[in-house]
Chains A and B, each alone.
Chain A
Amino acid sequence: MKIKVKWALLTMIFTIATVLTGCEPLLVLDPKGPQAKTQADDIMLSIWLMSGIVIVVLAILVFVLIKYRASKQSDDYEPPHIEGSLLVEAICIGIPVIIVIFLSFVSVKSNYEVEATPAGYEDTKPLIVYASSSNWKWHFSYPEEDIETVNYLYIPAGRAIEFKLYSYGPITSFWIPQLGGQKYAMADMVTTLHLAADNPGELQGRNANFSGAGFAKNTFEVTAMSPTEFDEWVEEVHETAEPLTEEKFDELLEPGHLGRSTYTGTHLEFSPAPEHDHGSTESDSSHTKVESDHENHESSNSDEESDHANH
């Protein structure tokens, strides 16, 4: 029986070891930006700490199982009645409390880091990208550059990116593992995700939150490039791409999978993001426009709904 324990443990350790140190690093542990770096550091720190706990528990368990098994004791041995000791209990509570306090400290610190402009890029002006999902695609709108792409994302490396996330449909989750963790995109509010890529490169992104039949293939490609290349690309789009019209955008929203496509202009003009920052005054003028558009949008929405009711 003991041999089997060892065998099972060895398999476990072996599997973990081969893969963790394997030829290709795991995506999440191979960060390409400061946010992912913070998260990967937290993950590795907690893996080491937790391994320690598992080993301690395992060691005590193996020790007592070997030492106190019935076959090793005389037949007339009667185990004593032990109620419990305050000191032992205090140690069993004290050490976990210390570990939890330490991890809480790390966790809170990282929380504020990942929810702010990425470390090292505070003085760059963040590029704002509206990333919205529809079944089962991603639409990336660059309001300042006045362009929009579907299912692919070009970003400048070495500059903070501020993603504004929302959804035309079910809750989705915007995730580029090597740049940083995910965040939900929802239909009735906008969430903000701060990311940055340190170097140019090709990355994978996907929707991580189950959103129906086409969920598995709800992915997008991310290319981080130098800022000059990015500017060239923006210019090229303005020269070659067609403008995004409302009809075209409604067509894009139809459920299904699409390849990449590129447009000038963004859908934010006729189908704005569901932002509810009523407190801010700086964008009042744009707001009124937004609101009137919003009403139009809603009326078209209710048309759609009545269609559904007829089904």
Chain B
Amino acid sequence: MDFFDRFAVPHPSFLIYASMVGIGLTMLAIVLGITYFKKWGYLWREWITTVDHKRIGIMYLLVALLMLFRGGVDAVMMRYQLSMPDNTFLDSQHYNEVFTTHGIVMILFMAMPFITFFFNYLIPLQIGARDVAFPRLNALSFWLFFMGMGLFNISFIVGGSPDAGWTSYFPLANNEFSPSVGTNYYMIAIQIAGLGTMISGINFITTILKMRAPGMKLMKMPMFTWSAFIANVIVVFAFPVLTVLLAMGTMDRLFGTNFFTTDNGGMDMLWANLFWVWGHPEVYILILPAFGLYSEIIATFARRNLYGYKSMVASMVVISVFSFLVWTHHFFTMGQGAFTNSIFSITTMAIAIPTGVKIFNWLFTLWKGKIVFTTPMLYSMLFIPLFTLGGVTGVMLAMSAADYQYHNTMFLVAHFHNVIIPGVVYAMIAGLTFYWPKMFGFMLNERIGKWTAWLMSVGFVLAFIPMYITGLDGQARRMYTYSESTGFSMLNMVSFIGAGIMAISFALLVYNIYYSIRYASRDIGNDPWDARSLEWATHTPVPEYNFAITPQVASTQAFWDAKKNGHELFKGKIEKIHMPNNSGWPFILGCIFFVFGFAMVFSIWPLAIVTLIGILGCLVYRSFEKDHGRYISVEEIEETEAKLRGAKK
């Protein structure tokens, strides 16, 4: 029995048992449902083995929405716990696990797959390509990410969740102070998911550099593609740091090395430094594609070209460089002295300059436009003032002497939610609403969509503005409770109400999807928003080869030129198209990685060694595999095109 003891949850509670039952029943229902409807074959052929960037994108989207729900439940639980002084809803251990997983889930398993969904779905369409550069590697990225996500998420029912904060600072995260396997999950699950992200970073850079349509010079790429390019360059530079960091952390916890211990030559501050050398660029990996989406949406609904295209690109390049030069501002209080703090204080404030340029360019894009208030536009217009508020509080935090007072308080928590929610989350939902018709052939309901946006914003303001105030009143972050005498209770209750309203708005989003599936018109054509770039030039639904004829590009908004200025997009005649074959290899390798990760988390060495050999075996197999893809014949393309044209009108 000793062997099985390790899988028990160290701090069980009613909530955890209830979720165990819930998860078990849901899994059972899914398995039974698929079996009953005889969909296993379909699932395997069309989704699990797919290398199509659009389908992989949609799988990322599903994971992101699922994780948004999970992270959201964590958030509401935290806000409820803090809504009253001396609340006993969660005990301190459980609260610590909840805020740790909330942070990791929201950043790495919600925001990251959400932007990767946009990368996957949009980049090939925007540059007029048939797929990404390495389609099978792309599938591997997804399955590694998926298995990392899965491994992380079973932690709270098998062995216990990580509880040292999403930053997992040592020595708190070492065995002495975090004896449960929770932090092992952190080290290994994020490692596996992170490998997936790094691979897709390389993949997207190659795709953008090598596979653009004829005529699309770098400075003629749509803004989202530019932002995706820069974000992926940051991925390729930042994620190796995370890989090394997590490997060192794993070795400290499992093999007794001394990288981050406080004696024997170890250095706990090294973790904090390396973590943020990755962690700060990471927030720009999230925000730059969001900026790209806003640029697409604002230009579309202002019915104007994006103002200051060149300075938009330049500002992102500057941001990407500066993102690596500011990490110390996460711990001004570590005692590195006035000189170091001054340097990082200035570099941090300097980032506000290119960011400000972007805000002004969006405002000038609206200038002399013809502004249509659709749901995606509404999110973008709410984003500008709310994000500006988050941005200026960032400048406040950058003043290092004052940061001694903001650090570790709710002020900081308010700030980063203030940039991430209006910045990233709004962009994701706006983008989802914007591209929904392209993906699924019908639009989401505008009325419900606008209600969602307004409710989310009211909820957001109520939930996070009070935190600025309690932060200045001395409420530290990550406290599971506080006493009545602190006077924090009223504002924390307001916060909880705001969180509740946000939860309702997300429920409304789900309802909108349901409502639109049932009632929305399917007769929307290929370009329902009157948009400007190439992804709208192809059919809805997008055929697997994207474009029957490779488009010709002459400006930053090729499709708009085709519509208004008589630019000819599709020259020449249809030829046979080379496409990659589906493969089960990425999924199988992902599964072996999952078992390997599980074995590492629980130090089951024989299993770890066997699966490691399996992983190497998979790599060797792939190296010798000969698969030259397949051709889609001209007749088949013509048939598909005729059908899609018919469906359109």
Contact = CB atoms under 8 A, between A and B. Distances in A.
B345 A183 contact: no
B531 interface: no
A107 interface: yes
A170 B169 contact: yes
Interface in B306-344: 307-311, 331, 333-335, 337-338, 341-342
Nearest to A108: B342
A178 B38 CA distance: 67
Given A69-B371, A191-B335, A210-B172, A107 B93 contact: no
B70 interface: no
A186 B268 contact: yes
A222 interface: no
Contact of B407 (A4, A170, A208): A208
A66 to B, nearest CB: 9
Contacts of B43: none
Contact of A187 (B171, B381, B491): B171
Contacts of A187: 171, 262-263, 268
B458 to A, nearest CB: 6
B548 interface: no
A311 B179 CA distance: 10
A132 to B, nearest CB: 13
B457 interface: yes
Nearest to B335: A191
Interface stretch (B113-121, B128-136, B354-362): B354-362
A26 B458 CA distance: 24
B469 A46 contact: no
A245 interface: no
Contacts of B478: 210, 215
Chain B interface size, under 10 / 10 to 19 / 20 to 34 / 35 or more = 35 or more
Given A26-B472, A42-B399, A8 B458 contact: yes
Given A46-B396, A89-B308, A213-B93, A204 B462 contact: no
Given A69-B371, A110-B399, A215 B479 contact: yes
Nearest to A106: B399
Given A12-B461, A170-B177, A208-B409, A216 B473 contact: no
A68 B400 contact: no
A84 B311 contact: yes
A113 interface: yes
B460 to A, nearest CB: 9
Contacts of B352: 96, 100
B220 interface: no
Contacts of B179: 311
Nearest to B175: A308
A204 to B, nearest CB: 7
B303 A79 contact: yes
Contacts of B269: 186
A214 interface: yes
A258 interface: no
A268 interface: no
Interface string A271-311: 00000000000000000000000000010010001001001
A177 interface: yes
A190 to B, nearest CB: 8
Interface string B469-490: 1001110111111100001000
Given A79-B304, A107-B400, A171 B395 contact: no
Nearest to A53: B392
B404 A39 contact: yes
B369 interface: yes
A216 B479 contact: yes
A47 B388 CA distance: 13
A70 B372 contact: yes
Contact of A58 (B337, B373, B385, B487): B385
A188 interface: yes
A181 B349 contact: no
A195 B450 CA distance: 51
B465 interface: yes
Interface stretch (A16-24, A118-126, A142-150, A246-254): A16-24
A79 B369 contact: yes
A65 B269 CA distance: 48
Given A92-B356, A115-B337, A212 B476 contact: no
A171 to B, nearest CB: 6
Interface string A23-47: 0101111000000101110110011
B467 to A, nearest CB: 11
Interface residues of A, number: 98
Contact of B368 (A36, A57, A68, A301): A68
Contacts of B304: 79-82
A183 B359 CA distance: 35
B364 interface: yes
Given A16-B469, A110-B401, A79 B370 contact: yes
Nearest to B346: A104
B267 A79 contact: no
Given A28-B474, A204-B474, A103 B404 contact: no
A235 to B, nearest CB: 32
A221 to B, nearest CB: 12
Contact of B171 (A58, A68, A169, A208): A169
A130 interface: no
Contacts of B402: 39, 42-43, 46, 107, 110, 181
Contact of A8 (B164, B262, B461, B466): B461
Which of B335, B364, B372, B466 gathers most chain A CB within 10 Å?
A: B335
Nearest to B388: A57
Interface in B271-318: 272, 302-305, 307-311
Interface string B149-164: 0000000000000011
A68 B405 contact: no
B368 A80 contact: yes
Which of the listed residues B310, B405, B408 has the most CB atoms from chain A within 10 Å of its own CB?
B405
A245 B338 CA distance: 38
Interface of B: 92-93, 96, 163-165, 169, 171-172, 175-179, 262-263, 266-269, 272, 302-305, 307-311, 331, 333-335, 337-338, 341-342, 345-346, 349-350, 352-353, 356-357, 359-361, 363-364, 366-373, 381, 384-385, 388-389, 392-393, 395-396, 398-405, 407-409, 450, 454, 457-458, 461-462, 465-466, 468-469, 472-474, 476-482, 487, 491, 494
Given A27-B472, A28-B405, A181-B402, 15 more contacts: A1-B373, A1-B450, A8-B454, A57-B363, A97-B353, A100-B395, A107-B402, A108-B345, A175-B408, A181-B407, A182-B404, A183-B333, A189-B335, A206-B474, A210-B478
8 contacts: A16-B468, A80-B304, A103-B349, A182-B404, A207-B476, A210-B169, A216-B480, A301-B263
Interface of A: 1, 4, 8, 11-12, 15-16, 19-20, 24, 26-29, 36, 38-40, 42-43, 46-47, 50, 53-54, 57-58, 60-61, 64-65, 68-70, 73, 77-84, 88-89, 92-93, 96-97, 100, 103-104, 106-108, 110-116, 135, 165, 169-171, 173, 175, 177, 180-184, 186-189, 191-192, 204, 206-216, 298, 301, 305, 308, 311
Q: Which 3 A-B pairs have the closest CB atoms?
A: A181-B404, A191-B335, A110-B401
